[in-house]
Amino acid sequence: MNPAINQPSRTSRAQVLTTIGFALLILVPSVLGFANKFREFILLSRGEVDGVFAITPVVNYLLASLGFFCLFFWAIYHGMFRDIEAPKFTMLENERKLDEEE
């Protein structure tokens, strides 16, 4: 990293306020909305039979997504996305060579 970029620089008051303002604007309604949905979900799951199996697909979905997240990060750490456009050229090149030999 270029040390020049790492130099602590003073952020203006206005910038801080704007950032906090936007953060609040987005976070507060989202948190409220999420909490409300989550409460509804818990009520539903405690309710009658109907609600009970509402949990199954949601849990499944969350588990599967979590699995994908892990695989996604695994792929990142393995450099799968480092030279992201390279495979498309390699593939054409291989194809050309294979056809030439034929």
Rounded (10°) CA dihedral 59, 63, 66, 67: -160
C-beta separation of 55 from 45 below 8 A: yes
- Residue for token digits 């405690």? 46
DSSP conformation letters of 73-98: HHHHHTTTTTTTTHHHHHHHHHHHHH
**Would you count residue 26 as binding another protein (CB under 8 A)?**
no
| Among 10, 13, 46, 78, interactor with another protein by CB under 8 A | 78
**Would you count residue 12 as binding another protein (CB under 8 A)?**
no
**Would you count residue 83 as binding another protein (CB under 8 A)?**
yes
| Among 22, 34, 38, 68, interactor with another protein by CB under 8 A | 68
Whose Cβ is closer to another protein: residue 17's or residue 52's?
52
Whose Cβ is closer to another protein: residue 22's or residue 72's?
72
